Structure 1
């Protein structure tokens, strides 16, 4: 048969409803979309857990060595790829006391210039103190405002949130004053995401000296350990329960393609009896199969891209994962069609009539 004849034969079967295009497209499309939603919800849960891990500051590691943290080294960790922020902090005996609230002095800590980036909030790069939200709310003042304190006029350079979500206490009601990094501090904080395997050893490199005489060494801790020590998003993604779902969709699609032709086995065997060669039969059936595979795959691809776009910064990874479903569905449908056409034999025509 000529190419034109092959296309005409397929067009005629699709147009007369012999191919069952609408039914098969709806069936396969429903399977693909349902699978995409199931896998998408699983991936979204993993992303939500990762976001929660970050928002709760569980990704922040600290090393505690009072009076022995090199502020400059700690600040330098922020230049390492994967480190989002780093900074050093030291406690002081100073208090910041508002004239209008003399009974609520605010404890003061001195920090290196990049330390405020470790804490969420609105930070103005100008000079002044950085207050916790609790302290700022108590004063009813926002970023850029000034207030009279016993120690003198203080300007609020920014504020930060420090909720009681499992984080180490001590910074929920506090004022941070930025100072030079070329001195010694008590702690070094580092926030890295994704987590860096050798971050702990890098933190220890900020400690100066050999320890105190009583043998106390630097203590490494997690700012918030309530969500676990680490979060390996890649491992969770690869181990998710729906990771093999695209293969199942491909198998189902193959079964749909095979089943659709087995329902037409008399027609196919009759075509072979009329001297249509097996190659032409397979070609016609593939053209017919495209009429229901392509719409189903396109709908699945659109749904996959919409779900991926909803994840924002993780668009590429989610899209790559979800687009496997329409791809495997298309390949499975074509494979089932080829298998169904190849199984058709002229000598079985009368047996098919008898079974019918």
Structure 2
């Protein structure tokens, strides 16, 4: 059987709908597409919960030890595995702004790593203070502006966000000075954000404490406890209901590929009886499936990409690839199922198929 004959016969069967391309396309989009979109949505949900947990400060561990926290040691925690950011902070003399002479503003001094814990805007060309969003509104200033204080004008190097969403008070209406640190620069607290902590990750924060005589015992806390103590995104991802969907897609794809071929067993057995080689017949059936499978894959993949766009840019590829994995295994299942359908069709059963029709 010549290759051009295989192509032409496959095209005729698709045009005549002998191979049931429309039904197969609809089934693939409904079954495999449903699995892919469900999994993409489930992964989006896990990532959204993790983003909400992290952005609220719930993943940030705080250790308070007045005058005992080494700024350099605390900042260095950011280099540890699974730690996103770390920094030290301490109270300092309140600032008195000229526009608020009777209302001293709570002021902090912090290590360079501290600002990575707070969403903020920064003007790297300036050196000065960071103010909270609420304070910036009160002072009518923004990044890069100069503001008068009792001790003279200072530049607003940046504006940071600190919502009133349950996180520990103290920075919602405040100013922060960033100061260089050395091994002897001490602070009152160390904050460490570990979105995907291992069992011993949080204990690393204790390494920032310097033992000083009979000082008060350090206390461990959570920046925001309103969303629970922890959220294990890795465990939630691995235990999601759709985790096994790629293999379900392979099975369903095999059924979608096998059943239409099995319905044509009389036609295929007749072709074998006419001395058409089984290899040529198998290739023909695969080509018939590709006529509808390629458009179906494009539709489902496009829908998966569309849903993946709701995720963070850094998560887009991982979410989209989860949908593609289901589509890919579903497609492989279709082709394998159709091949098996041809292979189990035997010429010697022609009359049996004829009686069963």
TM-score for the superposition, normalised by structure 2: 0.88
Instruction: Mark the CA change 1:6 to 1:100 in structure 2 (over 3 Å): closer, same or farther.
Output: closer
Separation in 2, partners of 1:63, 1:330: 53
> How much does 1:81 deviate?
5.2
Aligned-partner SS, 1:323? helix
Aligned-partner SS, 2:208? coil
Equivalent pair of 2:36/2:322 in contact (CA under 8 Å): no
Equivalent pair of 2:194/2:202 in contact (CA under 8 Å): no
In the other structure, the counterpart of 2:324 is 323
Asked if 1:349 is matched to 2:354, the reply is: no
Separation in 1, partners of 2:11, 2:322: 34
Instruction: Mark the CA change 1:324 to 1:273 in structure 2 (over 3 Å): closer, same or farther.
Output: same
Instruction: Mark the CA change 1:96 to 1:335 in structure 2 (over 3 Å): closer, same or farther.
Output: same
Matches within 5 A, 1:207-222: 207-209=209-211, 212=214, 216-222=216-222
Structure 1, unmatched stretches of 5+, are none
Matches within 5 A, 1:48-197: 48-80=48-80, 82-92=82-92, 94-125=93-124, 126-182=126-182, 183-195=185-197, 197=199
> How much does 1:186 deviate?
0.8
Separation in 1, partners of 2:331, 2:180: 62
- What is the CA deviation profile of residues 35-83 of structure 1, one whole-angstrom value per residue up to 9, with x for unaligned ones? 2221111111111112112211222222111111112222233344554
Q: Which range moves more in the overlay, 172-181 or 298-307?
A: 298-307
What CA RMSD, in Å, does the superposition of the two structures yield over aligned residues?
A: 2.5
Separation in 2, partners of 1:13, 1:290: 12
Instruction: Mark the CA change 1:281 to 1:148 in structure 2 (over 3 Å): closer, same or farther.
Output: closer
Separation in 1, partners of 2:25, 2:228: 46
Instruction: Mark the CA change 1:217 to 1:350 in structure 2 (over 3 Å): closer, same or farther.
Output: same
Equivalent pair of 2:85/2:117 in contact (CA under 8 Å): yes
TM-score for the superposition, normalised by structure 1: 0.88
Equivalent pair of 2:129/2:154 in contact (CA under 8 Å): yes
In the other structure, the counterpart of 2:298 is 298
Equivalent pair of 1:63/1:221 in contact (CA under 8 Å): yes
In the other structure, the counterpart of 1:313 is 314
> How much does 1:277 deviate?
4.2
Separation in 2, partners of 1:244, 1:114: 41
Separation in 1, partners of 2:321, 2:172: 41
Q: Which range moves more in the overlay, 188-197 or 117-126?
A: 188-197
Size of the aligned set, in residue pairs, is 353
Equivalent pair of 1:13/1:288 in contact (CA under 8 Å): yes
> How much does 1:208 deviate?
0.9
In the other structure, the counterpart of 2:255 is 255
Separation in 1, partners of 2:84, 2:180: 20
Equivalent pair of 2:32/2:252 in contact (CA under 8 Å): no
Separation in 2, partners of 1:179, 1:76: 15
Asked if 1:268 is matched to 2:268, the reply is: yes
Separation in 2, partners of 1:211, 1:320: 55
Separation in 2, partners of 1:353, 1:75: 79
